[in-house]
Amino acid sequence: MPHPSLSELMRIADIDYRHSKLKEDDLNAFGQYQRTASDNPLQLVVELIRQHSRVRTIESACEAAADAATKLEKMLKDLLDGNATFCHLETIRETPAGPRAVCRFNGTLREVSIHPEVDPERLRLLKSWEYVTVHQDVVIGYWADDPLLYEDAMGEIVEFKGYQSPDAHTVRVMLGPQERIAKLDPVLWDLPLTPQQKLVLHRSDPSRAIDMVPLENMQSRFEIPIHKLTTRIEDLAGLEEIAEQLLQDVLLRVCCPQVRDRFGLEPLKGILLYSYKPGMGKTALMRAIALWLHEHRDQFGFDVLIYAVKPNETKSMWHGEDARIVREDLFGAIRARQTQPRTRPLIILVVLDEIDSLGKRAGRGEATYSSAQSESLEAMLVEMDGLVQAPSGDGPPSYVLCCGLTNRPDRVDEAAKRPGRFSLVLPMPDVTQEGAEDIMAIYARGAALPWYLDGQVRCDVPPETVRRQFLQPAIARLFPEVILRYATDTQKVHEVTLGQALSNAHFMDGMNRAKKRAAVRQLRGIGVPAVTYDDVLDCLLDVACEAARQMEADPQMLIRQLDVKVPVARIDVVPRHELEEHRYVRLHSA
């Protein structure tokens, strides 16, 4: 059978030798293949395998070269980006040579070129908190559409006072006690601004306002999310009676106006809780009251908000700033809340911790106070007179109840304590022996807590057993124990017992110390890895002795906390070893 010609073979291979860019060497090679196939087919197969191997080697080399080129391109880009600078774009300026970018470098403006691959129109859409990337005075890219940039750029929140120049989009704002001029970002040009509105300044450029805080989203730095409160009334040992009295007055004179008006009761504007002894649970009680009202809001048909003001949080180094903080940051936020639409009444609790820190106005026979010291107090009194009930148009009203807490009621201004302001003034109850036991029982809860009972380490001990075997005997032996004596200027000696000297916080501390002592033993592998009766007894003694030594070092502390009415000439602390040697102290329960 005759072999096909070269032209016929190329036709079979779909190669048009007349139009294909084949060289003479290619045609000679094809002819050699044809002759080899005729004379020695096996040799042709070997040659094709060799050619295939060469092709694969060349392809691999090409792929390696392509990877190397890609890596080189990335390395060059990283080098450019690494040497680039992030800066803010102020504007795009049109020039005869084309658009150029005006950027801010360390507070100064500089004009730079724009790389051909960067779209100027996209640059014009950048927000003031987004960046352009500049390398050797050329904009080579940008960093945008990242929420982190906006969050990082948010600076101080200021109050809008009015427009300086509407055409130039400049406004007047209050930053602290000073009024300043700020330029609005384009995103704010078409938004309506009112004197109650708050604006956000740019962190690195405080002369620029970048956003507006919607009134419905405004939240004072004093407002506490009520869902974060965890203290319940049932967790407050020894405070059940005062909690019941507080809730009764709040419900009758604030939450249920129809009952209040029917019986002609005066509205409740303020509550003052005081105790000369710190750590009696005033703050915890107000948290529990707020949580109780929140949990029963559907039952009584109202909503609850709580604002907490810490000691000296309304103070400022700037003259006039104290009153502004009270007037705007605290009650201004409350007024903004009152203007929001609602479907049922709103109860706003304002808890003023250590209200005596607001100062006291000068009076007859008292030290002179400067006007700056009483600015926040006077602003507070004015707000309490004018911000009790604020209806929102025809909608449900809102009520503001101020709750002052103090350990120094003598330092609270008399004008605040008069009827019509803090009209309900209540002392925190003293700790009773049963109350001390209840407090320690709260901090002795926990199924996993190990106790040393009847010579064994036991967990999941019933609370009644813990009380009977550990808490009751320890408190019964120590509560009436004399821990210090003080003498008056007439040399009359008065005894102070552990129950008189310690507050609620001391009994909490004593129980926590007992648990820690047992935990340390388990950690070290020494002794009984459980809470023992001696732990409870010894830790209460430790707390009592420390409190006694503090009063010895600071007689005014004893005078204030025990409300001593006569001069104290001498304080004698009962030594710890005498308390331990007392025949009742080391007597274990049966």
User: Are residue 93 and residue 74 in the same domain, yes or no?
Assistant: no
Does 56 share its domain with 88? Answer: no
Task: Write out the H or E segment, with its range, that includes residue 109.
Answer: strand 108-114
> Is 102 part of any domain?
yes
Q: What is the DSSP letter of 481?
A: -
What φ, ψ does residue 484 adopt, rounded to 5°? Answer: -160, 160
Out of 213, 237, 257, a domain closes at 213
Residue 358 sits in the same domain as residue 451? no
Distance of alpha carbon 548 from alpha carbon 263, whole angstroms = 50
Q: How far is CA 214 from CA 194, 336, 475, in A?
A: 11, 10, 56
**Nearest CA-CA partner of 250 in 265, 234, 230:** 265
Contacts (Cβ under 8 Å, ≥6 apart) of 368: 362
Same domain, 91 and 121: yes
The answer to whether 199 and 215 are in contact (CB under 8 A) is no
Say if residue 415 is in the same domain as residue 347.
yes
Q: Which two tokens stand for residue 122?
A: 């996209």
Asked if residue 19 is part of any domain, the answer here is no
Residue 570: domain span = 433-581
**pLDDT for res 81:** 53
Query: CATH no. for residue 92?
Result: 2.30.30.140
- Predicted model pTM: 0.63
Backbone phi, then psi, for 553, in 5-degree steps? -75, -25
Query: Are residues 42 and 182 both part of a single domain?
Result: no
Residue 300 lies in a domain: yes
- 519 in the same domain as 437: yes
> How many of the other CB atoms lie within 10 Å of CB of 151?
10
Answer yes or no: are the C-beta atoms of 561 and 428 closer than 8 Å. Answer: no
* DSSP structural state of residue 23: -
Q: Do both 159 and 286 map to the same domain?
A: no
Cβ neighbours for 365, distance < 8 A, ≥ 6 positions apart? none
Kindly state whether residue 7 falls inside one of the protein's structural domains: no
Report the CATH number at residue 155.
2.40.50.140
- In 3-state terms the chain splits into helix, strand, coil percentages (rounded to 5) of 45, 20, 35
3 located within any domain: no
Strand-pair partners of 111: 102
133/36 same-domain check? no
Cβ contact 430:376 at 8 Å = no
Where helices occur in 41-143 by DSSP H, the ranges are 41-82, 120-124
The domain that contains 273 carries what CATH number? Answer: 3.40.50.300
Domain assignment present for 500: yes
Where among 393, 427, 461 does a domain terminate? 427
166 plus 298 within the same structural domain: no
For residue 79, the one-letter residue type is: L
Domains: count for the chain: 5
- Rounded to whole angstroms, the Cα distance separating 181 from 175 reads 10
Let me know if residue 450 belongs to a domain: yes
Boundary-marking domain end, from 145, 163, 188: 145
Q: Which of 501, 498, 494, 482 is nearest to 571 (CA)?
A: 494
Q: Both 269 and 381 in a single domain?
A: yes
Give the type of residue at 511. M
353 found inside a domain: yes
Residues in the chain, total: 590
- Shared domain for 256 and 382, answered yes or no, is yes
Interatomic CA distance for residues 534 and 231, integer angstroms: 30
Count of other CB atoms within 10 angstroms of residue 181: 12
CA–centroid distance for 38 within its chain? 90
pLDDT along the chain (590 residues), means of 10: 62 61 66 71 71 76 76 56 79 91 88 91 89 88 86 84 88 80 88 79 86 66 84 87 91 85 86 91 92 90 90 74 79 80 88 83 52 71 66 72 90 80 88 93 92 93 94 93 91 92 94 95 94 94 94 91 89 89 46
